[in-house]
Amino acid sequence: MVVENRLCGLTLIVLGVLVQVAVHNTVVINNVSASSAPIVLIVVGVVVFFIAFFGCCGAWKESYCMVTMFSLLLGLIIITEIGAAIAGYVFRGNLTVIVHESLNDMVTKYSNGTDEFQKALDNLQIDLKCCGVINATDWRGNFGPGTNSVPDSCCVNDTAGCGQGAMEDSSKVHQMGCQTVVEELLKKNIMWVIVAALVIAFLQIMGIIFACMLMRGIRSGYEVM
């Protein structure tokens, strides 16, 4: 019972850290619900981990009150996770708009952005082999002295100056925008989060069942005494 919930807590913490790192290494998402989701996972994971220690003390001391409190707190956590799952479903429904706005904002601010900001978008385009938001023409007016120039990170072969005047040259520049690729990547990750959430919720429900059995045993022992 306790071990399962400690593992649930650790899983949520690790999952939150991984999602946080993945989001910041791929695309800057300005939507509040999207950017705060990894933090919520980490916080819930820490809370579950400490609740598990509380349950461990209750089981070791055979304290009916502590085990009861453990069950109630775990029940509240499950309700919170259900709420987070609903929020995640809503976020998934708005994914297209969120990704489009975030990428469009990055492209618009690229020329005047810091080196770190430019590097983040360059790495995204290189890693995902994409260019712009919808297609390479999104860079028109947003980069370089000419109207047909794109960042070198858009090039099939990334070399210095390869993007100059090559916006519509499919042999030199990736024509597919990053929005579609990023959406597919995020949807895939969301599916893994949903699967993990279902497994964790199942283990937590089992924890409540075992806690109730322990409470019944402790209470029976009191009645015998």
Contact 125, 143 (CB under 8 A): no
Give the CA angle between residues 134, 111, 31 to the nearest 5°: 55
Q: What was the pLDDT predicted at 82?
A: 75
Q: Which two tokens stand for residue 32?
A: 């509040």
Q: What global pTM score does this model have?
A: 0.59
Q: Which two tokens stand for residue 129?
A: 């082999």
How distant is the alpha carbon of residue 152 from its chain centre?
A: 29
- Give 148's DSSP letter: T
Alpha-carbon distance 72 to 78, whole Å? 10
Q: Please name which of 39, 42, 38, 34 lies closest in space to residue 93, comparing C-alpha atoms.
A: 34
Place of tokens 């609740």: 51
Q: Distances in Å between the alpha carbon of 47 and those of 12, 39, 42, 84?
A: 10, 12, 9, 15
Say whether domain 97-179 belongs to CATH 1.10.645.10. Answer: no
Q: What was the pLDDT predicted at 171?
A: 93
Alpha-carbon distance 64 to 76, whole Å? 19
Q: Which residues of the chain have pLDDT under 50?
A: 1-11, 15, 17-18, 20-28, 30-33, 35, 222-225
Residue 16 DSSP SS3? helix
Alpha-carbon distance 180 to 133, whole Å? 8
Residue 146 DSSP SS3? coil
Which helix (H) or strand (E) element contains residue 117? Answer: helix 115-128
Q: What was the pLDDT predicted at 100?
A: 86
Give the start-to-end residue ranges of the domains of the chain. 2-94+191-224, 97-179
DSSP string, 58-82: HHHHT-HHHHHHHHHHHHHHHHHHH
Q: What was the pLDDT predicted at 167?
A: 93
